[in-house]
Amino acid sequence: MSDLVTKEQLDQVLAHIDGDIDQAVERLRTFLNIPSVSTDPAYKDDVKRCAEWITNDLQSIGLEATCHETVGHPMVVATDDSAGPDAPRVLYYGHYDVQPPEPFDEWDSEPFEAALKDSPYGQKIVARGAADDKGQLMTFVEAIRSWKAVHGTLPVRVVILLEGEEESGSESLVPFLTEHKESLQADTCIVCDTSMWDIDTPAITSRLRGILYIEATLHGPTHDLHSGGYGGSLVNPANALTKILGQLHDDKGRVQIDGFYDYVEVVSDEQVDQWNSLGDADAILLESSGAKATFGEEGYSTLERLWSRPTCDINGLTAGYQGEGAKTVIGCKASAKISCRLVAHQDAEQMQASLINFLESRTPVGCSWEFKKFGCSPAISVPTSSPWLSKAKDALTDIFPNPAVLIGTGGSIPVVGEFQHILGVDAVLIGFSLEDDLIHAPNEKFEVTSLHRGIRSHAAILHAYGSSSD
Amino acid sequence: MSDLVTKEQLDQVLAHIDGDIDQAVERLRTFLNIPSVSTDPAYKDDVKRCAEWITNDLQSIGLEATCHETVGHPMVVATDDSAGPDAPRVLYYGHYDVQPPEPFDEWDSEPFEAALKDSPYGQKIVARGAADDKGQLMTFVEAIRSWKAVHGTLPVRVVILLEGEEESGSESLVPFLTEHKESLQADTCIVCDTSMWDIDTPAITSRLRGILYIEATLHGPTHDLHSGGYGGSLVNPANALTKILGQLHDDKGRVQIDGFYDYVEVVSDEQVDQWNSLGDADAILLESSGAKATFGEEGYSTLERLWSRPTCDINGLTAGYQGEGAKTVIGCKASAKISCRLVAHQDAEQMQASLINFLESRTPVGCSWEFKKFGCSPAISVPTSSPWLSKAKDALTDIFPNPAVLIGTGGSIPVVGEFQHILGVDAVLIGFSLEDDLIHAPNEKFEVTSLHRGIRSHAAILHAYGSSSD
- The whole-number pLDDT of residue B385 equals 83
Instruction: Identify the band that residue B470 occupies on the pLDDT scale cut at 50, 70 and 90.
Output: very low
> Is B98 an 8 Å CB contact of chain A?
no
Residue A451 or A279, more confident: A451
The mean per-residue pLDDT over the stretch A330-353 comes to 96
Percentage of residues in chain B having pLDDT higher than 90: 85
What per-residue confidence (pLDDT) applies to B383? 78
Q: Please tell me the predicted confidence (pLDDT) of residue A451.
A: 98
Give the C-alpha separation, B42 to A353, whole Å.
Answer: 44
Contact A320 B325 (CB under 8 A): no
pLDDT of amino acid B69: 96
Residue A4: pLDDT band by 50, 70, 90 thresholds?
A: low
Distance from CA of B148 to the nearest CA of A (A): 35
Supply the ipTM of this predicted assembly: 0.77
Looking at CA atoms only, how far is residue A53 from chain B in angstroms?
Answer: 25
Check CB contact under 8 Å for A228 and B302. Answer: no
Look up residue B265 and give its DSSP letter. P
**pLDDT tens-place string over residues A204-261:** 998 889 999 999 999 999 999 989 889 999 999 999 999 999 999 999 999 999 999 9
Contact list in A for residue B264 (CB cut-off 8 A) is none
pTM attached to this predicted model: 0.77
CA nearest A210: which of A447, A420, A453?
A420
Q: What DSSP letter does each residue of B337-392 carry, written as one string?
A: EEEEEE-TT--HHHHHHHHHHHHHTTPPTT-EEEEEEEEEE--EE--S--HHHHHH
Kindly indicate the confidence band of residue A413, based on its pLDDT and cuts at 50, 70 and 90.
Answer: confident
Contact A229 B410 (CB under 8 A): yes
Mean pLDDT taken over chain A = 94
Cβ atoms B416, B427 nearer than 8 A? yes
CA distance A85 to chain B (A): 39
Which residues of chain B are within 8 Å of residue A223 when distances are taken between CB atoms? 106, 289-290, 438, 441-443
- What is the average per-residue pLDDT within A90-94? 98
A100 interfaces chain B, CB cutoff of 8 Å = yes
User: Which pLDDT value is given to residue B1?
Assistant: 46
pLDDT (mean) for A354-379: 96
**How far is the alpha carbon of B7 from chain A, nearest alpha carbon, in Å?**
37
Report d(CA B414, CA B167) in Å as an integer. 11
Chains A–B, number of C-beta pairs less than 8 Å apart:
394
pLDDT at B417: 87
Q: Is the pLDDT of residue A470 over 50?
A: no
> Domains along chain A?
2-208+379-466 (3.40.630.10), 210-264+310-377 (3.30.70.360)
A364 at interface of B, judged by CB pairs closer than 8 A? yes
From chain B, the residues in CB contact with A337 under 8 A are 320-321, 326-327
Best mutation site among B256, B303, B306, B317 for testing chain A: the one with the most A CBs within 10 Å?
B317
Does B285 contact A102 at a Cβ distance shorter than 8 Å? no
Contact at CB, B323 and A289, closer than 8 angstroms: no
A301 touches chain B (CB under 8 A): no
Q: Specify the 3-state DSSP secondary structure of A127.
A: coil
Cα B67 to Cα A226: distance, rounded to the nearest angstrom: 29
CB B189 within 8 A of CB B419: yes
Q: Does A247 touch chain B (CB under 8 A)?
A: yes
Across the interface, do A39 and B326 touch by the CB < 8 Å criterion? yes
Cβ A317–B313 below 8 Å, yes or no?
Answer: no
Cα separation of B158 and B95, whole Å?
17
A contacts of B365 (beta carbons < 8 Å): 292-293, 295
Across A68-72, A343-347, A370-374, least confident range: A343-347
CB contact under 8 A, A305 and B367: no
Average confidence (pLDDT) over A365-388: 90
The confidence score (pLDDT) of residue A92 equals 98
Query: For chain B, what is the radius of gyration of the CA atoms?
Result: 23
pLDDT at A469 exceeding the cut of 60:
no
Looking at residue A385, what is its pLDDT?
A: 82
Query: Min CA distance, A269 vs chain B (Å)?
Result: 19
Proportion of chain B above pLDDT 70, given as a percent: 99
Smallest CA-to-CA distance from A455 within A228, A192, A68 is with A192
Q: A242–B211: do the CB atoms touch at under 8 Å?
A: no
Is residue A276 classed as helix, strand or coil in its secondary structure? helix
Residue of B226, B264, B284 to mutate for A, most A C-beta atoms under 10 A: B226
Strands (E), A378-438: 380-381, 405-409, 427-431
Under DSSP, the state recorded for B264 is P
CA distance A455 to A463: 12
Closest CA of chain A from B117, distance in Å: 19
Q: Does A233 touch chain B (CB under 8 A)?
A: yes
B6 confidence band (pLDDT: 50, 70, 90): confident
User: With an 8 Å Cβ cutoff, is A366 touching chain B?
Assistant: yes
CB nearest to B236's CB, from A242, A314, A331:
A314
pLDDT tens per residue across span B413-430: 888 989 998 999 999 999
Tens digit of pLDDT for each residue in B274-321?
888 888 999 989 998 999 999 999 999 999 999 999 999 999 999 999
Closest CA to B1 of B82, B89, B92: B82
> Does pLDDT of B469 surpass 60?
no
**Helix pair B135-151, B44-61: axis angle to 10 deg:** 20
Q: How confident is the model at residue B350 (pLDDT cuts 50, 70, 90)?
A: very high
DSSP string, B197-248: SBTTB-EEEEEE-EEEEEEEEEE-SSS-EEHHHHTTTS--HHHHHHHHHTTS
Digit-coded pLDDT (tens) for B73-117: 999 999 999 999 999 999 999 999 999 999 899 999 999 999 999
Is the pLDDT reported for residue B380 higher than 90? no
pLDDT digits (tens, 9 = 90+) for A148-184: 999 999 999 999 999 999 999 889 999 999 999 999 9
Mean pLDDT of B342-354: 95
Q: Which helix (H) or strand (E) holds A463?
A: helix A448-466
In chain A, the residue whose alpha carbon lies closest to the alpha carbon of B434 is A229
Looking at the complex, does the CB of residue A410 fall below 8 Å from at least one CB of chain B? yes
Measured CA angle at A92 (ends A86, A97), to 5 deg: 155
